[in-house]
Amino acid sequence: MDLADILPEESVIFCTDVSTKREALEILADRAAARTAHSADAIFEALDGREALGSTELGNGIAIPHGKLPGLDGVTAVFVRLAKPIEFDAVDDQPVDILFALLAPLGSGADHLRALALVARLLRTESVVDELRSTKDPARLHQVLIQPLTTHKAA
């Protein structure tokens, strides 16, 4: 699986006006709805429902909200970098400014898990996170995210 296949440039956003976890999930849902046959409300419910089970925050200000929906053609991704970190019910009590949402079809256990592992590995790479936090340009954010991990500077 390649991130370029599931994360088109139009699904990468820099936001300046988000102040709550709910608003962040709504933005993720709105952008995902534009790429799927699902409503923003249905996507929000999937993401929020997963968050109700426990925060998808990984630490270091990073979260990977995710959920499953019937009828998706494959894994779909949306990335948001926030100008100002927000409270995200994080285990490490750190506010979140990097969100990488993943949506997968029901019954797509292996693909969903591969996508989660790929994104988690990428976002645990210090040089990647530093690059993401150093730009506000969605095109540059997209380029950083879709570069093969081997092209990033070693942490």
Active site residues: 66
Distances, alpha carbon 35 to alpha carbons 9, 86, 133, in Å:
12, 26, 25
Rounded (10°) angle between helices 126-133 and 138-146: 170
d(CA 47, CA 118): 19
Q: Cβ atoms within 10 A of the Cβ of 88, count?
A: 24
The rounded distance, in Å, linking the Cα atoms of 7 and 102 is 9
User: Strands 76-86, 66-69: parallel, antiparallel or unpaired by DSSP?
Assistant: unpaired
Amino acid at 101: A
- Give the separation between CA 68 and CA 17, rounded to whole angstroms: 27
